[in-house]
Amino acid sequence: MRYLLVDRILEWQANKGIKGIKNIAMSEDYLEFHFPNRPVMPGVMLLEALTQLAGWLTAASTDFKKWFLLSQVNQCKFYSFALPGDHVVLTIEKVDNEGSTFFRGIGVVEDKKKISADFCGELIDIDRIEDIEHYRRTFQTLTRELKWR
């Protein structure tokens, strides 16, 4: 992943849902030109954050054997800008949908909706894209399960 857009995972329930946080920092390089002198997190990056959170739910639910890859966005709505300093709370719900992997997500800042999306995709083997232990350790860090010495 070029950008890890989930900063913390607050809670998750296997094959059901997950809740995480994206903190938007002024130092993120994609803000430099989007837009000059008026930085706004690109909407597609918010969608990517929701997609990554769906990936983390998939990984944790399959003992880090599978990862979710987005193939179709069925619906996506943007409500207002997410700005540097915002603490975006992301929530994903896995929806049963006749054999396909389907998710519904929302991003909220201070009780104000910023994005909602319904999307689907496929599950791939994690070891095709990365070392499984790397994903497991990253998840432990995001959930604060990693024991620091």
Structural domain includes residue 122: yes
CATH assignment at residue 26:
3.10.129.10
Structural domain includes residue 67: yes
Q: Which residue has the tokens 């990862």?
A: 67
Residue 58 belongs to domain spanning: 8-141
Active-site position among 8, 19, 34, 65: 34
Per cent of the chain over pLDDT 70 is: 96
Structural domain includes residue 32: yes
Residue 144, pLDDT > 50, answer yes
Residue 137, pLDDT > 70, answer yes
Predicted confidence band of residue 25 (pLDDT cuts 50, 70, 90): very high
Pairing label, strands 87-97, 112-125? unpaired
With a threshold of 0.85, does the pTM exceed it? Answer: yes
Structural domain includes residue 73: yes
- Tell me how many domains the chain contains: 1
Pairing label, strands 100-109, 66-78? unpaired
Model pLDDT for residues 40-98, shown as the tens digit of each residue: 999 999 999 999 999 999 999 999 999 999 999 999 999 999 999 999 999 999 997 77
Instruction: Kindly tell me the sign of the dihedral angle through the C-alpha atoms of 21, 24, 29, 30.
Output: positive
Question: Would residue 134 show up in a list of annotated catalytic residues for this protein?
Answer: no
Structural domain includes residue 79: yes
